[in-house]
Amino acid sequence: MTPFLKPDFIRPVAIGAAIFAALAFLPSLVDSYYMSLAISVVSFAVLATAWSMFSGPTRYISLATVVFFGIGAYTVAVLGEVMAFPLVLLCAGLAGTVVALLVGFSTLRLAGVYFVIFTFGLTELVRQVVSWYEVNVTREMGRYVFLDITQNDIYWQLLALFAVLLLTGFVLGRSRLGFALRIIGEDETVAKHCGIDVTRVKVALFVLSALFMTLTGAIIAPRWTYIDPVIAFNPMLSFQVVIMALLGGPRRLLGPLLGVIPLTLLFEVLTASFPNHFSILLGCVFMVIVYLLPGGVVGLYEKYRAPKKRTLSTDTETTRKSGEKTA
């Protein structure tokens, strides 16, 4: 029997499939305002989960989310009217993968804060390169996306993407690659000693996570009609994704979702009710979160429901000790 047919694999996947099938009927139940809210929730869910897929286990804080998101959006702007939309998505995925490979191999040897700074700088770099190209080669700064893709189409595509992402994450968590990644996150030296090709594992995950971010950007682009580098590469998005993932808890597959839903709704309530005080209130909310929920929602859950299973931290202890022995 292959591992995919075991009940502890089939059951969660079946439940997930049922939930997603039910969510697909949302457009027939609510008006377009709630649909736009749903799009926002699902797109952030994909971004935050994809972010956590790499950053959760490796603990590399990446601020490059919007780089890939923007590459996806730009691919649609450039190719949208040239070829069929599925092909455009494919090209976007390819573009995102290539950039992620380049970035991954050149930077994943950087550690800690250097990586954070690099990824932040990368946003600016890509934005400037795109601007330079548009100014000097095409001589058109903004691009138009006139595609007959409705809000509901966007919602369904994002939902499908999220389903694929969760399935990927689920399979990954049970695979050798996922295990290798967790070891790297706990201690890179130990991982090396275990015979793991640390850089390749990190790059593989980085590329996978970037692929999902790129596709999100590509799917959402037709909603904006007009795209220029400032709109596509807005660094705020990277920060929002990090905050949402951290609030939820980036080390569990469904953790980020627990941050995305409350924060997206909170942003919405604040924007709607206090348009003039949004930034101040948001700042206060973040302070409350940091003081009251340092471990994220998942951390809170684990604290109040004393886990019976072996937790990650005990895993860590064992790995550390064995690591020290080896050393």
Partner 1 sequence: MQISAKLRIATIAAATTALMSTATLFGANAQETYRIGYAISKTGPGAPGAATSTTPNYEMWVKEINDAGGLKVGDKQIPIEVVEYDDRSSSEEAVRAVERLINQDKVDFILSPWGTGMNLAVAPILDRAGYAHLAGTAVTDKAPQLAQRWKNSYWLLGTGEQYAVEMAEFLKGLKDAGKINDKVAMIAVADGFGIELSKAGRAALEDRDFDLVYDKTYPLGSQDLATIVNDIKSLGADTFVAFSYPPGTLGLTEQSRVLGFNPKVFYAGVGTAFPLYKDRFGADAEGVVSLGGASENDPKIADYIKRHIAFAGREPDRWASIVNWASLQSLQQAIERAGSTDREAVNAELAKGGFDTILGTYKPGDQTFWQVGQWQDGKFVGVAPTSMEGAHELVFPKPAWKGAN
Q: Which residues bind partner 1 (CB under 8 A)?
A: 31-37, 40, 131-132, 134-136, 139-142, 144, 146, 220, 223-228, 230-231, 234, 236, 268, 271-272, 275-276, 278-279
Q: Is residue 210 within 8 Å of 72, Cβ to Cβ?
A: no
Minimum gap (Å) between residue 134 Cβ and partner 1: 7
Minimum gap (Å) between residue 43 Cβ and partner 1: 9
Closer Cβ to partner 1, 32 or 326, answer by number:
32
Minimum gap (Å) between residue 179 Cβ and partner 1: 37
Minimum gap (Å) between residue 151 Cβ and partner 1: 9
Closer Cβ to partner 1, 131 or 199, answer by number:
131
Closer Cβ to partner 1, 106 or 279, answer by number:
279
Closer Cβ to partner 1, 112 or 121, answer by number:
121
Q: Which residues contact 27 (CB under 8 A, 6 or more apart)?
A: 35, 152, 155, 156
Residue 178, Cα to own-chain centre: how many angstroms?
Answer: 17
Minimum gap (Å) between residue 164 Cβ and partner 1: 22
Closer Cβ to partner 1, 114 or 144, answer by number:
144
Q: For 112, left (φ over 0), alpha (ψ -120 to 50), or beta? A: left
CA nearest neighbour of 200 among 319, 95, 58 = 58
- Residue 203's SS3 state is helix
Place of tokens 């950039």: 99
Q: Which residues contact 215 (CB under 8 A, 6 or more apart)?
A: 46, 72, 89, 92, 93, 96, 161
CA nearest neighbour of 237 among 44, 46, 33 = 44
Minimum gap (Å) between residue 22 Cβ and partner 1: 23
Closer Cβ to partner 1, 7 or 275, answer by number:
275
Q: What is the CA radius of gyration of the chain?
A: 20
